[in-house]
Amino acid sequence: MWGALWLAWFWHGVHLSTATVDYQTASKRLEVMITLSADHLEEVLRRKSGREIELDRTAEAETWAREYVLERFDLRYGGGRKLPLKWVGWEIKGGSVNLYVEADWDGAGDLKLRNDLLLDWQRDQVNRVLPKRDGRGKPPQLMFWVGTRGEFQALGV
């Protein structure tokens, strides 16, 4: 029995989300797309609201998703000042949901990011962030997990 449980855990691996943060130099705007499992987002929103939720059928689901994202995905600059994020919208595609936010930023100073999405629910959650500038990758990528919860990492865009 223990062998079967270990094997199931081994093959399952981790829960992964991916975000791209693309700095557009011409418009001085950060464009962010976060891809999550639709099932995982529904479960987190269920726990917060105490209600059954289907992302594509519950009227308040997008409002709750926006609030959740803006609480847990945070950009700071210039010694810790919060960079206001604007909700652009979302797109549900099969088992995934793409969440879109943006922020105006002049590109001056260091930019830091905290990505605590789903870390309050899944202990094996990993949030990968891919920095870009004008659509081109700008390594290194950032990784967030339970051990980094609440921490900010430098986003070298």
Q: Domain coordinates of the chain in residue numbers?
A: 14-154
- What is the average pLDDT score of the chain? 91
Decide: 145 and 114 in contact? Cβ < 8 Å: no
| Percent of the chain scoring above 70 in pLDDT | 91
Q: How are beta strands 125-133 and 96-104 bridged, if at all?
A: unpaired
Q: 42 by DSSP, 3-state: which?
A: helix
Taking alpha carbons only, the member of 119, 112, 130, 109 closest to residue 31 is 130
pTM of the model: 0.89
Q: Look up tokens 């950009």; give the residue.
A: 75
Average pLDDT of span 68-81: 94
Decide: 146 and 108 in contact? Cβ < 8 Å: no
pLDDT in tens, 103-156: 999 988 899 999 999 998 888 999 999 999 999 998 899 999 999 999 999 998
